Amino acid sequence: MKYTPQLATYLVIIILSLSTALLAQDQRNGYYLNASGNRYSIILPATPARAAPKVLTEASAGGGNPVEISLADISEFGVDGSYRYVVRAVEFAEGRQAAGAVTQRQSATRATTRLPLLELARGPASLYLFRGSGGPQYYLSTESEQFVALLFDRFLNEDGDIVSDNRYQQQLRAALDCGGTPKQMRGVQYTERELLNAVVAYNDCQGGTTRSLSNVRQKSFSLGVLLGPNIFNYATENSVQRTRGVDYGSGIDVRVGVEIIYGVGFGDGEASVNFTPSYYSFSVEQEVENLGRMSTAVLESTAIDLPIGFRYVLPSKQLQPYGQLGIGYTLFPGGMQTSGNEELEMNLALSYNAAVGVLYNDRFGLRITYNRLADALPAAAVKSKISGIWIAGEYRF
């Protein structure tokens, strides 16, 4: 496929149209209750975002700037049939790290704070989740106690050993005691799935029903930037006389990219579709024989890669490993410059990539991506073989 400015324009239009359609479908008619219990309509995301909102945003009736509604004036909000947040004063450690992260022996000071809690299950026992920058914090409500923080910490003792403080398991055994029915609370992990199973088992034992929102998977759009070295290899192959191919060797340059991520909860992890346009350049040289003489051939080019990837992030408390596969097209806007100042035309090339990486608290990350491009040369006999490894640091907004 040949690169043309018109083709690039069409690609941009298609990408913008798809993004607009996805964003439009991601909104629903929701509601909120003020402190007096009065109900009002508001447009909200169709599903809860990964991080709890700090304010609600309402469109201005006059078409002006959106109006922010403080959670201090709200007792509940959500989308009927989809999800529900309750805003309550609960115990919370400001500046806490992710639950289960290894810290020093002294824990952060806990104070009472008004937080939006996502309802995961409602019944004789109810489970709620607050997800902020410090990872998930779960809360349990029963008939005797309301919105109790389930506590889980890991710290270094005086000998430098890692010790787990699984107080949440003791809390579960005390709060979800159902007439001596064994609950195996000691082995319950601090994950949404296992805590939900414990709550549902207790409600079943009590003869009550559980309204579970575990099937409501958290979806979100997010934006990231990537920057790091790109190690590439360029070679040509003559499809008629394969011995006449030339390996121009490897080079290294800086590659920069942005990433639009649409994620949805899947199991205890997260599946996502990503669009990751990136820009890089490469320059390679090699001694080649031309009419019986050896000379140095230099090739230089810039490339814009436009892949769509499919990623799965494994469930983890703080470090989230993931794998990703992608496919797309690579453009060479300026063609290929040679040592003789000759410009070679380059076609639009199909590209493939596979990546592994790790995220820290959904914010910082490191990714290693292997890229391979299909033939980008217009000549029928000579084929290009371009591949590379991109080692990128990642930051999510």
| Judgement on whether residues 231 and 185 belong to the same structural domain of the protein | no
Q: Which of 247, 241, 243 is nearest to 287 (CA)?
A: 247
Q: Considering the domain boundaries, does residue 368 fall inside one? A: yes
CA distances from residue 96 to 3, 197, 210, 316 in whole angstroms, order as listed: 51, 26, 31, 17
| Judgement on whether residues 347 and 299 belong to the same structural domain of the protein | yes
Strands 211-212 and 126-132: unpaired
| Judgement on whether residues 166 and 229 belong to the same structural domain of the protein | no
Please, are residues 39 and 31 in contact by the beta-carbon 8 Å criterion?
A: yes
Residues in the chain, pLDDT under 50:
1-5, 23-25, 97-98, 181-182, 214-217
| Judgement on whether residues 262 and 154 belong to the same structural domain of the protein | no
Q: Considering the domain boundaries, does residue 276 fall inside one? A: yes
Q: Considering the domain boundaries, does residue 285 fall inside one? A: yes
Give the residue numbers spanning the domain of 362.
Answer: 219-396
Q: Nearest-5° angle of CA 22, CA 361, CA 162?
A: 155
| Judgement on whether residues 195 and 238 belong to the same structural domain of the protein | no
| Judgement on whether residues 191 and 77 belong to the same structural domain of the protein | yes
What is the dihedral angle through the alpha carbons of 199, 204, 206, 212, rounded to the nearest 10 degrees?
Answer: 50
Q: Which of 161, 195, 212 is the last residue of a domain?
A: 212
pLDDT in tens, 195-242: 888 888 888 888 777 776 644 445 567 788 999 999 888 877 776 665
Q: Considering the domain boundaries, does residue 204 fall inside one? A: yes
Residue 165 C-beta-side C-alpha neighbours within 13 Å: 16
And the tokens for 88?
């309550």
Determine if residue 181 is left, alpha or beta; phi over 0 gives left, psi from -120 to 50 gives alpha, anything else beta. Answer: beta
| Judgement on whether residues 317 and 300 belong to the same structural domain of the protein | yes
**Distance between first and last Cα of the chain:** 35
């996805």: which residue's tokens?
Answer: 22
pLDDT in tens, 309-349: 998 887 665 678 899 999 999 888 876 766 555 666 777 88
Q: Which of 228, 265, 263 is nearest to 365 (CA)?
A: 228
Q: Considering the domain boundaries, does residue 18 fall inside one? A: no
Q: Tell me the CATH number at 226.
A: 2.40.160.20
Q: What is the number of structural domains in the chain?
A: 2
